[in-house]
Chains A and B, each alone.
Chain A
Amino acid sequence: MTTTTTGTPVGESTGADPSSASPRPRRRRGGGGLGSYILVRALLILPTVFILVTTVFVVMRATGDPITAALGGRLTPDQLAERIHDAGYDRPVLVQYLEYLGGIVRGDFGTTISDNRPVTEVLATYGAATLELATYALLVAFVVGIPLGMLAGYLRDRVPDAMLRISAILAYATPVFFAGLMLKLVFSVWLGWLPVSGRASTDAEIELQFLDDSTGFYLVDAIRTGDPAIVGDVLEHAVLPALALGLLTAGVFLRLVRTNVIGTLSTDYVVAARSRGVRESRLVRAHAWRPALIPIITVIGLQVAMLLAGAVLTETTFEWKGLGFQLAEYLQARDFVAVQGIVVLMAVIVAVTNFLVDIIAALIDPRVRY
């Protein structure tokens, strides 16, 4: 699908890659307008996704066929050959590749080998859990990272700034699973305040399973049951994973906001405002923080990539049954069909998020457009 659509309609604009800021003068500055920018940017997703999908296919197939990988030791060579033949893995790689591409376009990612479920079903079931975790984590990151970053930038090179910067570096230096394990040790095992793992206790989980057209977001579902005990239970389970993943991301936000607040505080218009006698606290709140947020928005795309990787580790630590947890399980089982599906989905999520982020950035800052 993608190969045909990429080159034709956009022509030269596609070639002007956003990454390499070469001194080449920009053509059509401001000529396109927002509409055509969105269109061009949307079309740029396709090659990205196509490349990722192809990379994943090539990489996974380089190790041999998925059946041997998953069931290698457990079946006789004859049975193995039969399974391989049935699944079509003995055909030419190119045919398999095209079929795989076609399947993805139709939304068909194949069937898992270890537990024989459609991959799409796996994605739908566990995707919501990962999304829920990522949402909580982002929330924590925003609430913690942005105000502290402004504070650090404002109090630059003073003691609070030093402490905050060191904590931000510590947050980066701590692997999310180690942070998770330590939180678990202190708050669940030693203090006994919070549950050790899972998304909800067994009773609540059963209750939620029987809810009609459940969304997969436990908090939403729990609120819909109207039972405060279940809501509380779900929230209790979410605290530690959200903190572990969120604080890690908060460190990134803190550093970014700090750097940018320092940058904007030394710009001419802030200096001018200061010379007019605007109070220092108001300088940060009213003048410096908004421009400092733009870079945050633009890096959220990359943060989502990091959050997904972080989610894989966090979910494994807390047995949070989401995509990351399943990915680790399928990896252990060498079920590469499932792995392939999950990885492709994550790649698509990252590509689409980057697209949305670029659009938002263009809406905020007109200079961003090609």
Chain B
Amino acid sequence: MVAETVVPAGPGTGSPGPVVVPERGRVAWWKRLPVVHQLRQSVGLQRGMLVAGLVITGIFLLTAALAPVLAPYGYSQLRSADGPFGAQQPPSAEHLLGTTVGGYDVLSRVIWGAQTALLVIVVAILASIVLGVLLGLVSGYFGGWADRLLVVLCDAIYAFPSLLLAILMAIVISGGQSSMWGGILAAALSITVVFVPQYFRVTRAEVVRIKGEAFVDSARVLGTPHRRIMFRHVLRNSTRTLPLIVTLNASEAILTLAGLGFLGFGIEPTAAAEWGYDLNKAVSDVTSGIWWTALFPGLAIVLVVLGITLVGESLNDLADPRLRSRRAAAEVSGEVAETSVVPGGTLTAGPGGLDTIEGAGSRSDELAAAPARPDPDAVGLDGRAPGAADDDPRDGAPHDETEDRR
């Protein structure tokens, strides 16, 4: 990729001296994948946190995928060949983590719960990305009164306590309770409503900025239809902050799902296992000293959120040059290309790359001064997909957006 785009560093990139694009620079493609790249870039504690997060997240994904194999019983199973399980049984050989007040096996429900959580995360995030990005793109690109209205609306929703919003949506979508897929969809869509404004804001801000760039103007002069400009030129350059928000939202989705379940707006125990529901049922157990029904589903939530947050947090820090731990000088010298603020050479550095060079000052002013990034399609050099480098979430911008939300 680097080889195809060897263009001398632009005059305004502000990089001190020539950026070294070493000849050995053709880094294997897998080393440039979003998470792998950061993993290689990280050092010390940050690497430890990232690895820990990846391991926990991996275990979570495996558990979710292999739930039918791993779980000793079904999530709604009340009896085995030997008769009913019995309620509130302490941990034993048959029931490693005991049974709940409803007579379910705790271990099985914890394992099946991973599957529910994963499904909800996937549906919620997919739905909010599609909706939020599309709205942000159209709204930011065309502007006008509809844009203003959407911005005010999203700001209002953004300020609203997200759990309350999710509760309201759960009432509308499912009337509170429902089947497995109905419940999962209801929970996921309730969470979606909370997330859409975030994706909307981030995408819109990027779109508004990018549509002022010269390559968009030139595409317009060439008579490119709006739809093509929007999706080909603007959208692909606006998505680089999204992976970061996705990881942070994934953990928030689990917490919201658990909150909904805890308040009784989750998924029926016969439809699927859900940790928040189990914790709700465990409230009275705790008062009488029964600890296993509350401890294990709760720990499952904590671990999964912890894992995903560690990943998101590390990516966030690595994207922010002020927070990134630096290697010792001796180590750096060998690997300039990887640790450089301009990853993989000059051209692939999007506006984010420039931004990180310039530091964390006011981005808009500097970007206005910096030369527009040449868009291959607009200038007829259709060498590579313009969006390829844009998955790289190295940018200080999303930091504020996401940090504030906590």
- Distance A196 CA – B284 CA, assembled complex (angstroms): 11
Determine if B187 is an interface residue (Cβ-Cβ < 8 Å): no
Asked if A328 and B306 make an inter-chain contact with CB atoms under 8 angstroms apart, the answer reads no
Question: For chain A, which range describes its interface: under 10, 10 to 19, 20 to 34, or 35 or more residues?
Answer: 35 or more
Determine if A97 is an interface residue (Cβ-Cβ < 8 Å): no
Contact (A19, B263) CB under 8 Å given A47-B156, A55-B156, A350-B160: no
Nearest CB of A to B267, in Å: 16
Q: Which residues of A contact B360 (CB under 8 A)?
A: 263
Which segment, of A76-84, A167-175, A205-213, faces chain B?
A167-175
Which segment, of A34-42, A105-113, A136-144, A309-317, faces chain B?
A309-317
Asked if B44 and A174 make an inter-chain contact with CB atoms under 8 angstroms apart, the answer reads no
Which segment, of B27-35, B83-91, B164-172, B374-382, faces chain A?
B164-172
Which segment, of B1-9, B203-211, B333-341, B385-393, faces chain A?
B203-211
Nearest CB of A to B289, in Å: 5
Nearest CB of A to B288, in Å: 8
- Distance A60 CA – B151 CA, assembled complex (angstroms): 23
Determine if B356 is an interface residue (Cβ-Cβ < 8 Å): no
Asked if A60 and B286 make an inter-chain contact with CB atoms under 8 angstroms apart, the answer reads no
**Which residues 335-370 in A have Cβ within 8 Å of B in the complex?**
336, 339, 343, 346-347, 350-351, 354
- Distance A197 CA – B287 CA, assembled complex (angstroms): 9
- Distance A351 CA – B161 CA, assembled complex (angstroms): 11
- Distance A20 CA – B155 CA, assembled complex (angstroms): 10
Fill in one digit per residue for B297-331: 1 if any A CB lies within 8 Å of its CB, else 0.
01001110110011001000000001101000000
Partner of B305, one of A173, A336, A350: A173
Asked if A181 and B279 make an inter-chain contact with CB atoms under 8 angstroms apart, the answer reads yes
Asked if A299 and B151 make an inter-chain contact with CB atoms under 8 angstroms apart, the answer reads no
Question: Can you name the residue of chain A whose Cβ is closest to the Cβ of B405?
Answer: A302
- Distance A76 CA – B325 CA, assembled complex (angstroms): 69
Asked if B201 and A302 make an inter-chain contact with CB atoms under 8 angstroms apart, the answer reads no
Contact (A313, B259) CB under 8 Å given A19-B151, A20-B205, A255-B403: yes
Asked if A316 and B263 make an inter-chain contact with CB atoms under 8 angstroms apart, the answer reads yes
Partner of B163, one of A21, A184, A255, A309: A309
Q: Which residues of A contact B258 (CB under 8 A)?
A: 175, 178
Nearest CB of A to B297, in Å: 8
Determine if A17 is an interface residue (Cβ-Cβ < 8 Å): yes
Asked if B404 and A299 make an inter-chain contact with CB atoms under 8 angstroms apart, the answer reads yes
4 additional A-B pairs beyond A313-B259, A313-B262, A351-B159, beta carbons within 8 Å, are A17-B155, A19-B158, A51-B156, A173-B305
A-B contact pairs, 26 of them (CB 8 A): A23-B368, A48-B152, A48-B159, A56-B168, A169-B306, A172-B251, A173-B251, A175-B279, A175-B298, A178-B279, A178-B294, A181-B279, A181-B298, A182-B298, A184-B286, A189-B287, A190-B289, A266-B322, A298-B404, A301-B159, A302-B404, A308-B161, A312-B263, A313-B259, A346-B161, A351-B159
